[in-house]
Structure 1
Amino acid sequence: MNDRVVVTGLGSVSALGLNTDQFWSALKEGRSGISSLQGFDDSGLKVALGAQANGFDPSSCFFARDLPILDRYSQFALMACQEALAQAGLDETALDGAAAVIGTGCGGKETDEATYDQLYRQGKSRAHPFTIPKGMPSAAASQVSMQLAITGPVFTVSSACSSANHAIAQAALLIRAGVVQVAVAGGTDAPFTYGLLKAWEALRVLSKDNCRPFSADRSGLVLGEGAGMVVLESEQHARSRGATMLARLAGSGMSSDAGHITDPSAAGAARAIQAALKDAAMDPQAVDYVNAHGTGTLANDRTETEAIHRVFGSHAARLMVSSTKSMHGHALGASGGLEFVATVLALRDGVIPPTINFTRPGEGCDLDYVPNTAREKRIQAAISNSFAFGGLNAVQVLQAV
């Protein structure tokens, strides 16, 4: 069986808002969610900026009885999944046997940090009894399954910053293989803990002033948090129940650089894009828009541009390419989910979100990056790129319906 896969629901939590309407409005307006880092006063951190979901209040979103078992990254996943399923018009009665594939780059870091603080700083001799089930990398997937009554295949994918796109690809494969008819998939991460920020600080890839993907004066990435989730269905199933189809997931491509742990490879990225187009049986000339990985680091932006040239040839000059990380930050394992949501909405509404903060093109960055202002243009096909540390690449091809 090889049924076509469609998108019927979208959900998101990010620094741009706690739902997808807020997220999309900010992207269209070119409004940034990046600001001075909050919650770490006098900590000795050199990290200056973050794209934090500062309006998020767990106590207003979840029952008090559930909070002790929900790490922040699981909270984000649940909110985004609930929104996506509501838009798709699916409730618990329709999810028996459905799948959930949840990507995360970090897992329950908030829980880990609190535990280590209690043991090593406060000198306590015992950890909380829920430490493992709350903080394990599969906790978000388990919570989504339990709270939304999803009883089919449920598992976690962790491939750093490609986690969400890998998760969406696996969910689509389950549908195409006939294993399930419905799946919820995407990514979630909550990296704003002292220990994790110190680790990122040591990598020296964080910007001190802003996120400016593809610009000559770009100075690094800005971390973000949140979740991006989608509901995928077989087209036959969606049509049978009269669902509104937002886009078609035409193909997925994956590759590994098999090279450096942090230095990306244009050849590896290009292989993933080519694999996605082949899976979609789509000619490169048919693609109108690329939602770029676009981190704002010197290495990524130049390498990604080269990969696009390798795949698209002379057509690269006609592509619109933008990085929404300039607004919602790099939410690690959630980024691919947020960017997938943005790509679906670009196809649905005919609006290309901009790369904000763009000044002038950097060396080796010579494409149309939709600088600073959204562009109204009807498009038929788009790709969404995710390229992770360790050379783990995942690309999605989406078509208008």
Structure 2
Amino acid sequence: MSRRRVVITGLGCVTSLASSSDKLFASLCEGKSGISKIECFDTAEYPVKFGGEVKDFEISEWISTREGRRMDRFTQMALASAIQAVEDSGLKFEGEDAERTSVIIGSGIGGLKEIEEQHIRLLEKGPRKVSPFCVPKLMGNAASGCVSIHYGLKGPNMCVVTACASAGNAIGEAFYNVLSGRSDISVTGGSEAALTPIGLASFCSLKSLSTRNDDPTNASRPFDKDRDGFVLSEGAGIVVIEEYEHAKKRGADIYCELLGYGATGDAHHITAPEPEGLGAGEAMKLALKDSGLNPGQIDYINAHGTSTQLNDVAESKAIRKVFGDDAYNLAVSSTKSCLGHLLGASGGVELIATSKAIKESVIPPTANLENVDPECDVKMDFVPKDAREKEVNYAMSNSLGFGGHNCSLVVGKV
């Protein structure tokens, strides 16, 4: 029996750079930055005062204000992105089998804003004043639940929580769900809204953030020898995937085909990656094997590329080990140079960029890359500063997370 084929037919996002997939990709290719001074709370006492804050988002543009108030910000952004992706796909769920459409959306942290606000209310006004919507808003599965409810989708509905690999793992599990025949369609990706007082303070305490307060747009510098940490951002990236014959029958516009998925664990450290990138490399190998491709067929890798000392070196080592000499023939870029790090949402947004790279034959750059860190290998092509026109037949998107989670997705031109 032949294996079912799975394709991507819809894209939707909310980011600090743009809140549509077309505008996002255009801005990435122009090397524009979505990083700016944080305005949603007072950062006077913080060593870091900038991030990838979404400043023009209003949930009332997508659903009623009353309904939106019952959702944490991460759920609002997930739902807005899902609505975009469904509209982009051209799907009309009224004519679909609701039990054969799954919703799998990841989030590394969930409703952090709601936790903070209700804890303040508890301390200032007492337990009787805590909102009855507190738990429904803070729970990590609220995004998948609300998207399912919005469209009346009754297939498998779940949330994946694997830190910064959450969206990538969610898409991978959705891919297998459709591949297995359990579903014909899946709305999948990730959302995160951890740019809050406690979120920023926590990462500041970890000393994992860039402190370039005088130059925020150039702060995220993946693979650059002068990088000093990642930039905390928020947003969501959702894709619609479906079985190929189903998409073809309804005349859908297909971005690309999902071909392979690999997931592993480092079993090394709760925050640091395995130094040689062994777990990340194994995830890439599994994704390649799943796709039936050899390393030399991959044209482009959208790297996890966080702009931290440990991650960039480990991921670079992993790519060299998996691809061998072919590592010097492929393009590798990190769109976090423009967007910062969206944590559990990053894999969704980055798969959107990867899908658009295939569709439009343009590779987005590593925008702020001036001098490649020798430990990342100066011979590798990290697509510095400027986008590149190039036919991309096969591409890979990597997501790596705290806890040692590694995820790779392989996509290809249809």
TM-score (ref. length: structure 1): 0.98
**What CA distance in whole angstroms lies between the structure 2 residues aligned with 1:145 and 1:295?**
31
Secondary structure in 1 matching 2:223: coil
Q: Which residue in 2 is equivalent to 1:274? A: 285
Which one of 365, 376, 382 corresponds to residue 365 of structure 1? 376
> Is 1:134 the counterpart of 2:137 in the alignment?
yes
How far off its partner does 1:95 sit?
A: 5.7
Q: Which residue in 2 is equivalent to 1:222? A: 231
1:102/1:167 contact within 8 Å kept: yes
Q: 1:278-309: per-residue Cα shift (whole Å, max 9, x none)?
A: 00010100001000000000000011000000
**What CA distance in whole angstroms lies between the structure 2 residues aligned with 1:133 and 1:107?**
11
| Structure 1, unpaired ranges of 5+ | none
Which one of 230, 234, 245 corresponds to residue 236 of structure 1? 245
2:43/2:49 contact within 8 Å kept: no
Q: Quick one: which amino acid aligns to residue 158 of structure 2?
A: F
Which one of 315, 318, 337 corresponds to residue 326 of structure 1? 337
Which one of 185, 191, 203 corresponds to residue 206 of structure 2? 203
Q: Which residue in 2 is equivalent to 1:181? A: 184
How far off its partner does 1:241 sit?
A: 1.4
**What CA distance in whole angstroms lies between the structure 2 residues aligned with 1:188 and 1:330?**
12
How far off its partner does 1:123 sit?
A: 5.0
* Paired residues for 1:71-150 under 5 Å: 71-93=72-94, 94=96, 96-97=98-99, 98-121=101-124, 123=126, 125-150=128-153
How far off its partner does 1:50 sit?
A: 0.3
Over 3 Å counting, the alpha-carbon distance change for 1:35 and 1:296 in structure 2 is same
Secondary structure in 2 matching 1:222: coil
Q: Quick one: which amino acid aligns to residue 19 of structure 1?
A: S
* Paired residues for 1:234-273 under 5 Å: 234-265=243-274, 266-273=277-284
Q: Which residue in 1 is equivalent to 2:353? A: 342
1:95/1:149 contact within 8 Å kept: no
**What CA distance in whole angstroms lies between the structure 2 residues aligned with 1:121 and 1:377?**
58
How far off its partner does 1:39 sit?
A: 2.2
Q: Which residue in 2 is equivalent to 1:291? A: 302
**What CA distance in whole angstroms lies between the structure 2 residues aligned with 1:225 and 1:190?**
5
Point out the more displaced range, 35-44 or 240-249.
35-44
Q: Which residue in 2 is equivalent to 1:398? A: 411
| Structure 2, unpaired ranges of 5+ | 213-218
4+ aligned runs moved over 6 Å, structure 1: none
Q: Which residue in 1 is equivalent to 2:314? A: 303
Q: Which residue in 2 is equivalent to 1:169? A: 172
Q: Which residue in 2 is equivalent to 1:61? A: 62
1:37/1:47 contact within 8 Å kept: no
1:15/1:33 contact within 8 Å kept: yes
Secondary structure in 2 matching 1:220: coil
**What CA distance in whole angstroms lies between the structure 1 residues aligned with 2:252 and 2:69?**
36
Secondary structure in 1 matching 2:129: coil
Secondary structure in 2 matching 1:315: helix
Q: Which residue in 1 is equivalent to 2:398? A: 385
Count residues with an aligned counterpart.
401
> Is 1:376 the counterpart of 2:377 in the alignment?
no
How far off its partner does 1:196 sit?
A: 1.5
**What CA distance in whole angstroms lies between the structure 2 residues aligned with 1:298 and 1:126?**
44
How far off its partner does 1:187 sit?
A: 0.3
Q: 1:178-228: per-residue Cα shift (whole Å, max 9, x none)?
A: 111011100000011111111111110100121100001000000111111
1:256/1:391 contact within 8 Å kept: yes
**What CA distance in whole angstroms lies between the structure 1 residues aligned with 2:220 and 2:382?**
14
How far off its partner does 1:357 sit?
A: 1.0
1:3/1:235 contact within 8 Å kept: yes
**What CA distance in whole angstroms lies between the structure 1 residues aligned with 2:309 and 2:339?**
19
Q: Quick one: which amino acid aligns to residue 36 of structure 1?
A: K
How far off its partner does 1:48 sit?
A: 1.9
TM-score (ref. length: structure 2): 0.95
How far off its partner does 1:52 sit?
A: 1.0
Secondary structure in 2 matching 1:25: helix
Secondary structure in 1 matching 2:320: helix
